[in-house]
Amino acid sequence: MAVVRLEVADGVGTIRLDRPKVNALNAELTAELRDAALEASRRADVHAVVIYGGERVFAAGADIKEMAAQGRAAMANWGTELTETFELVARIPKPVFAAVTGYALGGGLELALCADFRILADNAKVGQPEILLGVIPGAGGTQRLPRLVGPARAKELVFSGRQVGAEEALAIGLADAVVPAAEVYAEAVRRAKQYVDGPALALAAAKRAIDDGLETGLSEALRLETGLFVGLFGTEDQKNGMESFQQHGPGKAKFTGR
């Protein structure tokens, strides 16, 4: 039985983690998550994505029992596969929301950090507790977290390994919204649907410009932005958007994604 599946409805693709009891990350889940990310990226009927672990828990980190039995070589292989898989999730060229219930710890938080936006349940707990096991985050926690909340806050969280509640996560920019636990998935889907009828090529270009631009100097990033901007001219969406603006004003265009 699959532990990750892609479910599509009304333009929103839900990447559903389903490895009882706590969606612990292992080689099987990693491989299936990779397939789901690639499928969500290429499917024309998927315009936005929600990553969801179910009503009880998002993902409580790596499978420690499985990990503890591995040697350095095995961990090097799996660690590389996990990091590459998370990069594929981060590179999905569509708006991505993490709907976080219960715990998102260790690799679970690292997965949530790959999303563009994080919606947390009011009882959610997130953190990078790897230091308490004598190791450090190994799939983006020391890199994506400081880019999101700043280096000092990230160091405090990584150095201490403490768990952060939903309201604190919101206050430091780790969460984008906090809602009652029963509403997390519905709220993530509601927000994702805002982009379903948007200009898909422009949204993908905007995401790439921001994400890749943050990894370069300003001058190079500006050149990237200009190239992506110019590349959208001649698309159906650009023509429709500008014609509609001239004829009907802003916000009335019908986009095709081409």
Active site residues: 110, 130
d(CA 133, CA 131): 5
d(CA 98, CA 225): 26
Beta-strand runs (E) in the chain: 4-9, 12-17, 48-52, 96-100, 103-105, 117-121, 125-127, 164-165, 177-179
Q: Which 3 state secondary structure label does DSSP give 135?
A: coil
Amino acid code (one letter) for 142? T
Nearest to 241 by CA among 193, 192, 199, 179: 199
d(CA 124, CA 199): 33
CB 118 within 8 A of CB 140: no
